[in-house]
Protein backbone atom coordinates (compact mmCIF):
# COMPACT_ATOMS: atom_id res chain seq x y z
CA UNK A 1 0.00 0.00 0.00
CA UNK A 2 1.60 3.23 -1.06
CA UNK A 3 0.71 6.71 -2.07
CA UNK A 4 2.11 8.52 -5.03
CA UNK A 5 3.16 12.13 -4.77
CA UNK A 6 2.22 14.74 -7.27
CA UNK A 7 -1.09 16.15 -8.40
CA UNK A 8 -4.09 14.04 -7.37
CA UNK A 9 -5.64 12.24 -10.34
CA UNK A 10 -8.90 13.81 -11.52
CA UNK A 11 -11.78 12.23 -9.67
CA UNK A 12 -13.90 10.12 -11.95
CA UNK A 13 -17.56 11.02 -11.89
CA UNK A 14 -19.73 8.02 -11.27
CA UNK A 15 -23.45 8.03 -11.99
CA UNK A 16 -25.68 6.24 -9.52
CA UNK A 17 -26.77 2.77 -10.52
CA UNK A 18 -30.03 2.50 -12.49
CA UNK A 19 -29.74 5.96 -13.99
CA UNK A 20 -28.37 6.55 -17.42
CA UNK A 21 -25.24 8.63 -17.11
CA UNK A 22 -25.74 12.13 -18.47
CA UNK A 23 -23.23 12.99 -21.18
CA UNK A 24 -20.36 14.85 -19.55
CA UNK A 25 -19.26 16.98 -22.42
CA UNK A 26 -21.00 19.89 -24.00
CA UNK A 27 -20.51 18.23 -27.33
CA UNK A 28 -22.22 15.09 -26.07
CA UNK A 29 -25.18 17.05 -24.82
CA UNK A 30 -25.44 19.06 -28.04
CA UNK A 31 -25.31 15.86 -30.07
CA UNK A 32 -28.01 14.33 -27.92
CA UNK A 33 -30.26 17.38 -28.30
CA UNK A 34 -29.69 17.34 -32.04
CA UNK A 35 -30.68 13.68 -32.14
CA UNK A 36 -33.80 14.27 -30.04
CA UNK A 37 -34.96 17.07 -32.34
CA UNK A 38 -34.28 14.92 -35.38
CA UNK A 39 -36.28 12.09 -33.82
CA UNK A 40 -39.27 14.33 -33.07
CA UNK A 41 -39.21 15.83 -36.55
CA UNK A 42 -38.88 12.51 -38.34
CA UNK A 43 -41.66 11.01 -36.22
CA UNK A 44 -43.97 13.92 -37.01
CA UNK A 45 -43.12 13.62 -40.68
CA UNK A 46 -43.76 9.87 -40.62
CA UNK A 47 -47.12 10.35 -38.94
CA UNK A 48 -48.14 12.99 -41.50
CA UNK A 49 -47.10 10.76 -44.38
CA UNK A 50 -48.94 7.86 -42.79
CA UNK A 51 -52.13 9.87 -42.36
CA UNK A 52 -52.11 11.36 -45.83
CA UNK A 53 -51.20 8.19 -47.68
CA UNK A 54 -53.61 5.95 -45.81
CA UNK A 55 -56.41 8.46 -46.30
CA UNK A 56 -55.66 8.65 -49.97
CA UNK A 57 -55.46 4.91 -50.42
CA UNK A 58 -58.76 4.39 -48.67
CA UNK A 59 -60.42 7.03 -50.78
CA UNK A 60 -59.10 5.47 -53.97
CA UNK A 61 -60.29 2.11 -52.88
CA UNK A 62 -63.71 3.36 -52.00
CA UNK A 63 -64.09 5.08 -55.34
CA UNK A 64 -62.99 1.98 -57.19
CA UNK A 65 -65.37 -0.26 -55.27
CA UNK A 66 -68.26 2.11 -55.75
CA UNK A 67 -67.61 2.34 -59.48
CA UNK A 68 -67.42 -1.41 -59.80
CA UNK A 69 -70.49 -2.04 -57.69
CA UNK A 70 -72.48 0.51 -59.73
CA UNK A 71 -71.35 -1.03 -63.00
CA UNK A 72 -72.21 -4.52 -61.77
CA UNK A 73 -75.59 -3.35 -60.52
CA UNK A 74 -76.34 -1.82 -63.92
CA UNK A 75 -75.25 -4.97 -65.73
CA UNK A 76 -77.35 -7.06 -63.39
CA UNK A 77 -80.31 -4.87 -64.16
CA UNK A 78 -79.81 -5.32 -67.84
CA UNK A 79 -79.16 -9.04 -67.46
CA UNK A 80 -82.27 -9.55 -65.37
CA UNK A 81 -84.47 -8.18 -68.11
CA UNK A 82 -82.77 -10.32 -70.74
CA UNK A 83 -83.87 -13.88 -70.42
CA UNK A 84 -81.79 -17.01 -70.68
CA UNK A 85 -79.61 -17.07 -67.59
CA UNK A 86 -80.50 -18.06 -64.09
CA UNK A 87 -79.80 -15.55 -61.38
CA UNK A 88 -76.80 -17.30 -59.80
CA UNK A 89 -75.27 -17.68 -63.27
CA UNK A 90 -75.83 -14.05 -63.92
CA UNK A 91 -74.21 -13.07 -60.59
CA UNK A 92 -71.25 -15.37 -61.17
CA UNK A 93 -70.61 -13.80 -64.55
CA UNK A 94 -70.27 -10.30 -63.24
CA UNK A 95 -66.69 -8.93 -63.50
CA UNK A 96 -65.36 -8.78 -60.00
CA UNK A 97 -62.23 -7.92 -58.16
CA UNK A 98 -60.45 -10.81 -56.56
CA UNK A 99 -62.23 -11.93 -53.47
CA UNK A 100 -65.27 -9.73 -53.75
CA UNK A 101 -68.70 -11.28 -53.23
CA UNK A 102 -71.93 -10.28 -54.94
CA UNK A 103 -75.31 -10.53 -53.27
CA UNK A 104 -78.69 -9.96 -54.81
CA UNK A 105 -81.95 -9.51 -52.97
CA UNK A 106 -85.40 -9.46 -54.44
CA UNK A 107 -88.32 -9.09 -52.08
CA UNK A 108 -86.41 -10.69 -49.22
CA UNK A 109 -84.98 -13.44 -51.43
CA UNK A 110 -81.14 -13.42 -51.17
CA UNK A 111 -78.79 -14.84 -53.69
CA UNK A 112 -75.02 -14.87 -53.04
CA UNK A 113 -71.86 -15.91 -54.90
CA UNK A 114 -70.13 -17.04 -51.74
CA UNK A 115 -71.27 -19.30 -48.99
CA UNK A 116 -69.18 -17.32 -46.59
CA UNK A 117 -71.06 -14.07 -46.97
CA UNK A 118 -74.85 -14.03 -46.65
CA UNK A 119 -77.67 -11.79 -45.69
CA UNK A 120 -76.95 -12.00 -42.00
CA UNK A 121 -73.44 -10.71 -42.40
CA UNK A 122 -74.72 -7.37 -43.63
CA UNK A 123 -75.88 -5.07 -40.91
CA UNK A 124 -79.56 -4.46 -40.79
CA UNK A 125 -79.26 -0.71 -41.12
CA UNK A 126 -77.31 -1.01 -44.36
CA UNK A 127 -79.75 -3.54 -45.79
CA UNK A 128 -82.76 -1.43 -44.99
CA UNK A 129 -81.26 1.78 -46.29
CA UNK A 130 -80.34 0.22 -49.61
CA UNK A 131 -83.54 -1.77 -50.07
CA UNK A 132 -85.49 1.36 -49.42
CA UNK A 133 -83.76 3.00 -52.38
CA UNK A 134 -80.61 4.75 -51.14
CA UNK A 135 -77.10 3.61 -52.15
CA UNK A 136 -74.86 3.11 -49.14
CA UNK A 137 -71.56 1.63 -48.07
CA UNK A 138 -70.14 0.53 -44.76
CA UNK A 139 -66.97 -1.02 -43.38
CA UNK A 140 -67.88 -4.15 -41.54
CA UNK A 141 -66.19 -7.23 -40.15
CA UNK A 142 -67.00 -10.59 -41.66
CA UNK A 143 -65.39 -13.72 -40.25
CA UNK A 144 -62.73 -11.59 -38.60
CA UNK A 145 -61.84 -9.72 -41.77
CA UNK A 146 -62.46 -6.07 -42.51
CA UNK A 147 -64.51 -5.67 -45.61
CA UNK A 148 -66.31 -2.86 -47.39
CA UNK A 149 -69.93 -3.53 -48.17
CA UNK A 150 -71.48 -1.44 -50.97
CA UNK A 151 -75.20 -1.57 -51.66
CA UNK A 152 -76.91 -0.25 -54.83
CA UNK A 153 -80.72 -0.21 -55.07
CA UNK A 154 -82.07 -1.64 -58.33
CA UNK A 155 -85.00 -0.52 -60.39
CA UNK A 156 -87.50 -3.15 -59.21
CA UNK A 157 -89.37 -2.99 -55.97
CA UNK A 158 -87.33 -4.34 -53.07
CA UNK A 159 -84.51 -5.16 -55.46
CA UNK A 160 -80.93 -4.42 -54.44
CA UNK A 161 -77.38 -5.37 -55.33
CA UNK A 162 -74.68 -5.67 -52.72
CA UNK A 163 -71.03 -6.24 -53.25
CA UNK A 164 -68.62 -7.01 -50.42
CA UNK A 165 -64.93 -6.12 -51.02
CA UNK A 166 -62.19 -7.49 -48.83
CA UNK A 167 -59.85 -4.81 -47.51
CA UNK A 168 -57.01 -7.08 -46.38
CA UNK A 169 -54.86 -6.04 -49.30
CA UNK A 170 -55.22 -2.46 -48.21
CA UNK A 171 -54.33 -3.53 -44.67
CA UNK A 172 -51.18 -5.17 -45.98
CA UNK A 173 -50.27 -1.98 -47.76
CA UNK A 174 -50.84 -0.10 -44.52
CA UNK A 175 -48.59 -2.49 -42.64
CA UNK A 176 -45.80 -2.21 -45.17
CA UNK A 177 -46.09 1.56 -45.19
CA UNK A 178 -46.08 1.68 -41.38
CA UNK A 179 -43.07 -0.60 -41.13
CA UNK A 180 -41.12 1.43 -43.67
CA UNK A 181 -41.92 4.68 -41.87
CA UNK A 182 -41.01 3.25 -38.47
CA UNK A 183 -37.71 1.92 -39.80
CA UNK A 184 -36.96 5.31 -41.35
CA UNK A 185 -37.60 7.00 -38.02
CA UNK A 186 -35.38 4.52 -36.17
CA UNK A 187 -32.65 4.80 -38.80
CA UNK A 188 -32.62 8.56 -38.35
CA UNK A 189 -31.33 8.15 -34.77
CA UNK A 190 -27.84 6.80 -35.49
CA UNK A 191 -27.56 9.04 -38.53
CA UNK A 192 -28.49 12.04 -36.36
CA UNK A 193 -25.97 10.99 -33.72
CA UNK A 194 -23.17 10.76 -36.26
CA UNK A 195 -24.13 13.95 -38.06
CA UNK A 196 -24.64 15.76 -34.75
CA UNK A 197 -21.27 14.64 -33.37
CA UNK A 198 -19.55 15.56 -36.59
CA UNK A 199 -21.30 18.91 -37.09
CA UNK A 200 -20.89 20.12 -33.51
CA UNK A 201 -17.13 19.78 -33.81
CA UNK A 202 -16.46 23.00 -35.70
CA UNK A 203 -19.06 24.79 -33.59
CA UNK A 204 -17.50 23.71 -30.35
CA UNK A 205 -13.88 23.93 -31.47
CA UNK A 206 -13.43 27.32 -29.76
CA UNK A 207 -14.57 25.75 -26.49
CA UNK A 208 -12.20 22.87 -27.03
CA UNK A 209 -9.36 25.33 -27.57
CA UNK A 210 -10.32 27.24 -24.45
CA UNK A 211 -10.30 24.05 -22.44
CA UNK A 212 -6.94 23.03 -23.94
CA UNK A 213 -5.41 26.39 -23.09
CA UNK A 214 -6.97 26.44 -19.62
CA UNK A 215 -5.63 22.93 -19.07
CA UNK A 216 -2.17 24.05 -20.14
CA UNK A 217 -2.29 26.95 -17.67
CA UNK A 218 -3.47 24.66 -14.90
CA UNK A 219 -0.64 22.30 -15.83
CA UNK A 220 1.92 25.02 -15.20
CA UNK A 221 2.35 26.63 -18.61
CA UNK A 222 1.44 30.10 -17.44
CA UNK A 223 2.31 31.64 -20.78
CA UNK A 224 -0.40 29.76 -22.69
CA UNK A 225 -2.84 32.10 -24.46
CA UNK A 226 -5.97 31.77 -26.56
CA UNK A 227 -5.65 32.75 -30.22
CA UNK A 228 -9.00 33.96 -31.65
CA UNK A 229 -7.76 32.89 -35.14
CA UNK A 230 -9.84 35.44 -36.98
CA UNK A 231 -13.14 34.32 -35.47
CA UNK A 232 -14.90 37.57 -34.55
CA UNK A 233 -17.36 35.82 -32.25
CA UNK A 234 -14.45 34.40 -30.27
CA UNK A 235 -12.38 37.59 -30.12
CA UNK A 236 -14.00 39.21 -27.04
CA UNK A 237 -13.92 35.93 -25.16
CA UNK A 238 -10.29 35.34 -26.14
CA UNK A 239 -9.40 38.87 -25.08
CA UNK A 240 -10.90 38.57 -21.62
CA UNK A 241 -9.59 35.04 -21.20
CA UNK A 242 -6.09 36.15 -22.12
CA UNK A 243 -6.34 39.13 -19.82
CA UNK A 244 -7.25 36.84 -16.94
CA UNK A 245 -4.44 34.45 -17.83
CA UNK A 246 -1.94 37.31 -18.03
CA UNK A 247 -3.06 38.62 -14.63
CA UNK A 248 -2.68 35.15 -13.19
CA UNK A 249 0.75 34.76 -14.75
CA UNK A 250 1.87 38.13 -13.36
CA UNK A 251 0.56 37.22 -9.97
CA UNK A 252 2.24 33.82 -9.85
CA UNK A 253 5.51 35.18 -11.22
CA UNK A 254 5.58 38.10 -8.83
CA UNK A 255 4.81 35.80 -5.90
CA UNK A 256 7.62 33.52 -6.96
CA UNK A 257 9.94 36.47 -7.63
CA UNK A 258 9.14 37.85 -4.22
CA UNK A 259 10.09 34.58 -2.57
CA UNK A 260 13.25 34.44 -4.68
CA UNK A 261 14.10 38.08 -3.87
CA UNK A 262 13.56 37.51 -0.17
CA UNK A 263 15.80 34.48 -0.06
CA UNK A 264 18.30 36.25 -2.28
CA UNK A 265 18.42 39.22 0.08
CA UNK A 266 18.99 36.78 2.92
CA UNK A 267 22.01 35.25 1.26
CA UNK A 268 24.47 38.07 1.84
CA UNK A 269 23.79 38.42 5.60
CA UNK A 270 23.81 34.62 5.84
CA UNK A 271 27.24 34.54 4.24
CA UNK A 272 28.45 37.09 6.75
CA UNK A 273 26.92 35.11 9.62
CA UNK A 274 28.47 31.83 8.48
CA UNK A 275 31.85 33.51 8.06
CA UNK A 276 31.72 35.27 11.40
CA UNK A 277 30.63 32.08 13.11
CA UNK A 278 33.49 30.04 11.73
CA UNK A 279 35.91 32.74 12.88
CA UNK A 280 34.49 32.49 16.40
CA UNK A 281 34.63 28.70 16.20
CA UNK A 282 38.38 28.88 15.74
CA UNK A 283 38.49 30.14 19.33
CA UNK A 284 35.89 27.79 20.76
CA UNK A 285 38.42 26.33 23.22
CA UNK A 286 38.91 29.70 24.85
CA UNK A 287 35.18 30.23 25.46
CA UNK A 288 33.62 29.44 28.86
CA UNK A 289 31.24 26.42 28.89
CA UNK A 290 28.08 28.54 28.57
CA UNK A 291 29.65 30.45 25.71
CA UNK A 292 30.50 27.17 23.98
CA UNK A 293 26.94 25.97 24.40
CA UNK A 294 25.62 29.24 23.06
CA UNK A 295 27.89 28.93 20.04
CA UNK A 296 26.70 25.38 19.40
CA UNK A 297 23.09 26.58 19.50
CA UNK A 298 23.94 29.43 17.15
CA UNK A 299 25.66 27.07 14.74
CA UNK A 300 22.66 24.75 14.60
CA UNK A 301 20.30 27.66 14.04
CA UNK A 302 22.40 29.29 11.34
CA UNK A 303 22.86 26.00 9.53
CA UNK A 304 19.14 25.26 9.70
CA UNK A 305 18.44 28.76 8.47
CA UNK A 306 20.86 28.35 5.60
CA UNK A 307 19.17 25.13 4.60
CA UNK A 308 15.73 26.72 4.76
CA UNK A 309 16.77 29.65 2.61
CA UNK A 310 18.32 27.31 0.05
CA UNK A 311 15.17 25.18 -0.02
CA UNK A 312 12.90 28.22 -0.28
CA UNK A 313 14.92 29.58 -3.12
CA UNK A 314 14.88 26.29 -4.92
CA UNK A 315 11.16 25.79 -4.52
CA UNK A 316 10.32 29.36 -5.55
CA UNK A 317 12.53 28.94 -8.60
CA UNK A 318 10.57 25.90 -9.65
CA UNK A 319 7.33 27.81 -8.93
CA UNK A 320 8.50 30.61 -11.19
CA UNK A 321 8.82 28.05 -13.96
CA UNK A 322 12.59 28.10 -14.16
CA UNK A 323 13.40 24.50 -14.91
CA UNK A 324 17.01 23.88 -15.68
CA UNK A 325 16.95 20.11 -15.66
CA UNK A 326 20.25 18.70 -16.87
CA UNK A 327 19.36 15.09 -17.59
CA UNK A 328 22.32 12.83 -18.23
CA UNK A 329 23.24 9.19 -17.86
CA UNK A 330 24.26 8.69 -14.23
CA UNK A 331 25.80 5.57 -12.74
CA UNK A 332 23.46 5.36 -9.82
CA UNK A 333 25.74 3.23 -7.63
CA UNK A 334 28.56 5.81 -7.93
CA UNK A 335 26.19 8.60 -7.01
CA UNK A 336 24.76 6.68 -4.07
CA UNK A 337 28.30 5.94 -2.91
CA UNK A 338 29.20 9.63 -3.09
CA UNK A 339 26.08 10.61 -1.12
CA UNK A 340 26.92 8.04 1.57
CA UNK A 341 30.54 9.25 1.65
CA UNK A 342 29.28 12.77 2.32
CA UNK A 343 27.12 11.45 5.12
CA UNK A 344 30.10 9.68 6.60
CA UNK A 345 32.11 12.94 6.42
CA UNK A 346 29.30 14.69 8.29
CA UNK A 347 29.69 12.11 11.06
CA UNK A 348 26.54 10.09 10.39
CA UNK A 349 26.58 6.35 11.17
CA UNK A 350 27.08 3.96 8.24
CA UNK A 351 24.03 2.29 6.74
CA UNK A 352 23.66 -1.10 5.03
CA UNK A 353 23.14 -0.89 1.27
CA UNK A 354 21.31 -3.70 -0.46
CA UNK A 355 22.23 -3.74 -4.15
CA UNK A 356 22.45 -6.39 -6.89
CA UNK A 357 25.88 -7.68 -7.87
CA UNK A 358 25.80 -5.78 -11.16
CA UNK A 359 24.71 -2.52 -9.51
CA UNK A 360 27.78 -0.79 -10.94
CA UNK A 361 26.28 -1.13 -14.41
CA UNK A 362 22.93 0.46 -13.51
CA UNK A 363 22.57 3.79 -15.31
CA UNK A 364 19.64 6.14 -14.83
CA UNK A 365 18.56 9.19 -16.75
CA UNK A 366 18.78 11.88 -14.10
CA UNK A 367 20.02 15.30 -13.07
CA UNK A 368 23.00 14.59 -10.81
CA UNK A 369 22.49 17.60 -8.56
CA UNK A 370 18.77 16.94 -8.16
CA UNK A 371 19.21 13.24 -7.52
CA UNK A 372 21.80 14.06 -4.86
CA UNK A 373 19.30 16.40 -3.20
CA UNK A 374 16.58 13.75 -3.43
CA UNK A 375 18.69 11.09 -1.73
CA UNK A 376 20.16 13.56 0.74
CA UNK A 377 16.74 14.90 1.70
CA UNK A 378 15.27 11.41 2.06
CA UNK A 379 18.16 10.37 4.32
CA UNK A 380 17.89 13.61 6.31
CA UNK A 381 14.18 12.94 6.62
CA UNK A 382 14.92 9.45 7.95
CA UNK A 383 17.26 11.02 10.51
CA UNK A 384 14.91 13.76 11.68
CA UNK A 385 11.50 12.06 11.41
CA UNK A 386 12.19 8.35 11.17
CA UNK A 387 14.49 7.78 14.17
CA UNK A 388 17.44 7.13 11.92
CA UNK A 389 18.27 5.64 8.55
CA UNK A 390 17.83 1.86 8.55
CA UNK A 391 18.73 0.68 5.06
CA UNK A 392 19.07 1.75 1.44
CA UNK A 393 17.97 -0.61 -1.33
CA UNK A 394 19.02 -0.28 -4.95
CA UNK A 395 17.32 -2.56 -7.46
CA UNK A 396 16.09 -2.93 -10.98
CA UNK A 397 12.30 -2.53 -10.99
CA UNK A 398 10.19 -5.45 -12.15
CA UNK A 399 9.10 -3.65 -15.34
CA UNK A 400 12.73 -3.57 -16.54
CA UNK A 401 12.54 0.09 -17.51
CA UNK A 402 13.20 1.77 -14.20
CA UNK A 403 15.67 1.68 -11.36
CA UNK A 404 14.29 1.72 -7.85
CA UNK A 405 15.94 3.33 -4.85
CA UNK A 406 14.36 2.74 -1.45
CA UNK A 407 15.24 4.54 1.77
CA UNK A 408 14.06 2.79 4.94
CA UNK A 409 13.93 4.35 8.38
CA UNK A 410 13.53 2.93 11.84
CA UNK A 411 10.62 5.12 12.90
CA UNK A 412 6.95 4.44 13.41
CA UNK A 413 6.15 4.76 9.69
CA UNK A 414 3.79 7.16 7.95
CA UNK A 415 0.08 6.53 8.67
CA UNK A 416 -1.86 5.69 5.52
CA UNK A 417 -4.04 8.80 5.80
CA UNK A 418 -0.99 11.08 5.91
CA UNK A 419 0.82 9.55 2.94
CA UNK A 420 -0.73 11.86 0.40
CA UNK A 421 0.25 14.89 2.44
CA UNK A 422 3.86 14.21 3.35
CA UNK A 423 5.05 15.58 0.02
CA UNK A 424 3.27 18.91 0.50
CA UNK A 425 5.33 21.83 1.74
CA UNK A 426 5.50 22.41 5.43
CA UNK A 427 3.66 19.15 6.03
CA UNK A 428 4.93 17.65 9.26
CA UNK A 429 4.15 14.35 10.86
CA UNK A 430 1.61 14.59 13.64
CA UNK A 431 4.24 13.64 16.21
CA UNK A 432 6.87 16.20 15.28
CA UNK A 433 7.10 19.70 16.62
CA UNK A 434 8.56 22.86 15.20
CA UNK A 435 11.63 22.99 17.40
CA UNK A 436 12.62 19.39 16.82
CA UNK A 437 12.72 19.70 13.06
CA UNK A 438 14.00 23.06 11.89
CA UNK A 439 13.40 23.67 8.21
CA UNK A 440 12.23 20.14 7.60
CA UNK A 441 8.97 21.26 6.08
CA UNK A 442 10.32 21.70 2.55
CA UNK A 443 12.58 18.67 2.21
CA UNK A 444 10.03 16.15 0.96
CA UNK A 445 8.23 18.75 -1.17
CA UNK A 446 11.54 19.34 -2.93
CA UNK A 447 12.05 15.59 -3.28
CA UNK A 448 8.68 15.32 -5.04
CA UNK A 449 9.50 18.22 -7.36
CA UNK A 450 12.96 16.99 -8.26
CA UNK A 451 11.73 13.47 -8.95
CA UNK A 452 8.91 14.81 -11.10
CA UNK A 453 11.40 16.97 -13.02
CA UNK A 454 13.42 13.83 -13.74
CA UNK A 455 10.32 11.99 -15.00
CA UNK A 456 10.35 9.62 -12.04
CA UNK A 457 7.95 8.83 -9.23
CA UNK A 458 8.32 8.87 -5.47
CA UNK A 459 6.07 6.96 -3.10
CA UNK A 460 5.91 6.27 0.59
CA UNK A 461 4.92 2.92 2.04
CA UNK A 462 5.90 0.45 4.74
CA UNK A 463 9.45 -0.76 5.15
CA UNK A 464 9.94 -4.48 5.78
CA UNK A 465 11.90 -3.35 8.86
CA UNK A 466 8.78 -1.74 10.29
CA UNK A 467 9.41 1.92 9.58
CA UNK A 468 8.61 4.05 6.57
CA UNK A 469 10.00 3.29 3.12
CA UNK A 470 10.40 6.06 0.58
CA UNK A 471 10.77 4.66 -2.91
CA UNK A 472 12.08 6.57 -5.92
CA UNK A 473 11.67 5.11 -9.40
CA UNK A 474 13.78 6.61 -12.15
CA UNK A 475 13.92 5.74 -15.86
CA UNK A 476 16.86 3.63 -16.97
CA UNK A 477 19.57 5.48 -18.85
CA UNK A 478 20.21 5.04 -22.56
CA UNK A 479 23.84 3.91 -22.82
CA UNK A 480 25.19 1.56 -20.16
Considering beta carbons, is residue 370 or 390 the nearer one to other proteins?
Answer: 370
Considering beta carbons, is residue 91 or 371 the nearer one to other proteins?
Answer: 371
**Partners of residue 391 on adjacent β-strands:** 408
Site string for other proteins, 273-312 (x = CB under 8 A): xxxx-xx--x-----------------------x--x---
Write out 216-284 in H/E/C secondary structure. Answer: HHHCCCCCCCCCCCCCCCCHHHHHHHHHHHHHHHHHHHHHHHHHHHHHHHHHHHHHHHHHHHHHHHCCH
H/E stretch holding 377 reads helix 368-385
Neighbours of 34 (CB within 10 A): 17
Q: Are 171 and 149 in contact (CB under 8 A)?
A: no
Question: What angle separates helix 443-453 from helix 368-385, to the nearest 10 degrees?
Answer: 150
* Total length of the chain: 480
Question: What angle separates helix 332-345 from helix 368-385, to the nearest 10 degrees?
Answer: 50
Considering beta carbons, is residue 163 or 372 the nearer one to other proteins?
Answer: 372
Residue 341 CB, nearest approach to other proteins (Å): 8
Considering beta carbons, is residue 62 or 281 the nearer one to other proteins?
Answer: 281
Among 61, 119, 368, 421, binds other proteins (CB under 8 A): 368
Site string for other proteins, 213-252 (x = CB under 8 A): ----------------------------------------
Considering beta carbons, is residue 435 or 479 the nearer one to other proteins?
Answer: 479
Residue 292 CB, nearest approach to other proteins (Å): 20
| Closest by Cα among 407, 417, 408, 411 to 451 | 407
Subset of 308-337 contacting other proteins (CB under 8 A) = 309, 313, 317, 322, 324, 326, 328-329, 334-335, 337
CA 313 to each of CA 116, 220, 242, 308: distance values in angstroms, whole numbers, following the listed order: 106, 18, 29, 8
Among 87, 237, 270, 453, binds other proteins (CB under 8 A): 270
- First vs last C-alpha separation in the chain: 32
Size of the site for other proteins (CB under 8 A): 34
Residue 395 CB, nearest approach to other proteins (Å): 22
What is the spatial distance between Cα 368 and Cα 332, in angstroms, rounded to a whole number?
Answer: 9
Part in contact with other proteins (CB under 8 A); list of ranges 99-107, 150-158, 271-279, 427-435: 271-279
Considering beta carbons, is residue 227 or 324 the nearer one to other proteins?
Answer: 324
Considering beta carbons, is residue 209 or 370 the nearer one to other proteins?
Answer: 370
Considering beta carbons, is residue 95 or 269 the nearer one to other proteins?
Answer: 269
User: What is the DSSP code (8-state) at residue 429?
Assistant: -
Considering beta carbons, is residue 106 or 281 the nearer one to other proteins?
Answer: 281
272 binds other proteins (CB under 8 A): yes
What is the spatial distance between Cα 35 and Cα 23, in angstroms, rounded to a whole number?
Answer: 13
Give the β-pairing of 353-354 and 389-396.
Answer: parallel
User: Applying CB under 8 A, which residues contact other proteins?
Assistant: 264, 267-276, 278-279, 282, 306, 309, 313, 317, 322, 324, 326, 328-329, 334-335, 337-338, 341-342, 368-369, 372, 478-479
Amino acid sequence: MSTTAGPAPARRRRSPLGRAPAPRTLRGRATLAFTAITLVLSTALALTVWGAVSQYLLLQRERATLAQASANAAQLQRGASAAGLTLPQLLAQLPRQTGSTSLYVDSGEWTTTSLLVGRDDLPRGLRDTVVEGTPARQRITVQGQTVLAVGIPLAGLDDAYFEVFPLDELDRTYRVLGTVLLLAVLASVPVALVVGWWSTRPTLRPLERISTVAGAIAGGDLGARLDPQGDPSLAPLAASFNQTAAALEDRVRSDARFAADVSHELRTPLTAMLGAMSLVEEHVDRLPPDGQEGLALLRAEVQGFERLVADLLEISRSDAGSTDVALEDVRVADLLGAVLARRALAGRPPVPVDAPSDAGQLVVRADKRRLERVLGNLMDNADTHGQGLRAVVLERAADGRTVRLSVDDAGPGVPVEERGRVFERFARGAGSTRTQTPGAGLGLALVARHVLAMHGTVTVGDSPHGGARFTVDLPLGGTP
